[in-house]
Chains A and B, each alone.
Chain A
């Protein structure tokens, strides 16, 4: 069974440029999460989706970050414009729901470097 797939794995851009990350969750997982992981830190939630609805986006910097999950499957996270401080690993995770709602499966992440 395929796990959570993210692309690209690495992205290098100049500041003020736009960038987008893509996530394909595990088949059948209704809940999808985007996390930000700075070097030497734990993941921090950016946004959580239940199917196609964003149910927790309080930590998403909405002036430059946006996300969507069309049809409740794949999701994209966009930054426009990127700033130097956005350099980090962006992790996507998914979970099944119900009693296994807390069990989150993570993708390998996209490492973003903003120059």
Chain B
């Protein structure tokens, strides 16, 4: 059973547009929800993270929206740039447990 479901699998966005990636989870004990960015040949790198006590967190062009009642969270990339082209993973964890990752979204930003 997949604990974190991520969609879409791939996404193509025009330069300057908004990229939106969604994740849904089942376990209400999860209390930490990060997004990781991975470029080819590199390991995942933490992009932004949120805890369930807030509904939104913004860092630069990246925003996490969190809906606790729906058990969903999403990543929004504003003013998407070609350099944002990468694979994005959502993840979740309970206290003192390792992260559970989604299957990833391959984002392509085209000029």
Choose the segment among B12-20, B41-49, B54-62, B71-79 that binds chain A (4+ C-beta atoms closer than 8 Å). Answer: B41-49
- Mostly, the A contact residues are loop
Please state if B45 and A44 are interface contacts (CB–CB under 8 Å): no
Q: How many A-B residue pairs have CB under 8 A?
A: 48
In the bound assembly, the distance between CA atoms of A14 and B108 in angstroms comes to 35
Please state if A42 and B104 are interface contacts (CB–CB under 8 Å): yes
Please state if B43 and A107 are interface contacts (CB–CB under 8 Å): yes
Using a CB-CB cutoff of 8 Å, which residues 65-115 of chain A contact chain B? 91, 93, 101-109
In the bound assembly, the distance between CA atoms of A56 and B93 in angstroms comes to 14
Please state if A102 and B44 are interface contacts (CB–CB under 8 Å): no
Q: Which positions in B face A, CB cutoff 8 Å?
A: 6, 32, 34, 36, 41-46, 49, 89, 91, 93, 96-99, 101-104
14 examples of A-B residue contacts, CB within 8 angstroms: A4-B43, A40-B103, A40-B104, A41-B103, A42-B89, A42-B102, A56-B97, A56-B98, A102-B99, A103-B34, A105-B46, A106-B45, A107-B43, A108-B42
Q: Which positions in A face B, CB cutoff 8 Å?
A: 4, 33, 40-45, 48, 56, 91, 93, 101-109
